[in-house]
Amino acid sequence: MARQNTSVVVIPSYNEAENLAEVVAAVRKLGLSVIVVDDNSPDGTGAIAERLAASDPEVQAVHRASKGGLGPAYARGFATALAAGFEQICQMDADFSHDPNDLPRLLEALEAGADLALGSRYVTGGGTGGWPWSRQLISRLGNAYARAALGIPIRDATSGFRAFRAGTLRMARPESCQASGYGFQVEMAWRALQAGHSVQEVPITFHERRAGRSKMTPGIALEAARLLTVWGFRRRLGQASTHA
């Protein structure tokens, strides 16, 4: 039987107890289902996810044994969404850095023909709220390096605010991605482009998190830089695919 609700938002969570209930409520107000993927957060985020799921059949809590990286968390959530028969699968952070009210615009881009709609800070109409110039510079340089290394036209390949068609997500095989940190976002977008799927950037404003601490570390940034360098080198040798 086909699902009545065909769209879901996958939200990875680690130590997001201060934000999770509110962000899930905001997504549910839009009529979208939610899958929370918690990595055994020590602050009780997993228990909050369970309570939300118990009170709403359109919310599902998925638990992983330990903190294992953003990419694998998303891969687990995506697999759960595909198995449940959702046709449009969104992804967003749990801390309100992505505005839930922008989700309908991402889904509208899919309805208009895009295979992957990407919430972009760096196209006309997009932006970053309250970022210092140093953080903006680092982010823009990282995206410029991704464009140069991989030969992709995307202005904001590191954005984690997205909507996929189910077929595009299956093709991208997120469970086989090499990146476990924020490089996962670049890898997924590149795979979609390599397979000939259309990617549309939708302007959004990225906000500072409402509560809690950022998960970005130097190690995550170094992983992304290392993988981009390897992929770029392989692309120049004619071995373009990142698929395992």
Full DSSP string of 109-120: HHHTT-SEEEEE
Cα 62 to Cα 76: distance, rounded to the nearest angstrom = 8
Would you state the pLDDT for residue 188? 96
Specify if 136 maps to a domain: yes
Specify if 1 maps to a domain: no
Q: What is the CA radius of gyration of the chain?
A: 17
Would you state the pLDDT for residue 2? 54
Q: What is the pLDDT of residues 169-190, one digit of tens each?
A: 999 999 999 888 788 999 999 9
Q: Is the pLDDT of residue 237 over 70?
A: yes
What is the CATH number for 123? 3.90.550.10
Q: Is the pLDDT of residue 239 over 80?
A: no
Specify if 244 maps to a domain: no
Bridge partner residues of 63 (DSSP): 38
- Indicate if the alpha-carbon torsion angle 81, 146, 70, 98 is positive or negative: negative
Specify if 61 maps to a domain: yes
For the chain, how many structural domains are there in total?
1
Q: Is the pLDDT of residue 221 over 60?
A: yes
Cα 60 to Cα 198: distance, rounded to the nearest angstrom = 29
| CA 194 to mean position of chain CA atoms | 19
Specify if 202 maps to a domain: yes
Specify if 205 maps to a domain: yes
Q: Is the pLDDT of residue 217 over 70?
A: no
Identify the domain containing residue 61 by its residue range.
7-236
Cα 207 to Cα 158: distance, rounded to the nearest angstrom = 15
Answer whether 64's CB lies under 8 Å from 80's CB.
Answer: no
Specify if 242 maps to a domain: no
If you search the block for the tokens 């992957």, which residue do you land on?
116
- 92 is written with which tokens? 């967003």
Would you state the pLDDT for residue 131? 73
Q: How confident is the model at residue 228 (pLDDT cuts 50, 70, 90)?
A: confident
Specify if 122 maps to a domain: yes
Residue 33 backbone zone (phi > 0: left; psi -120 to 50: alpha; other: beta):
beta
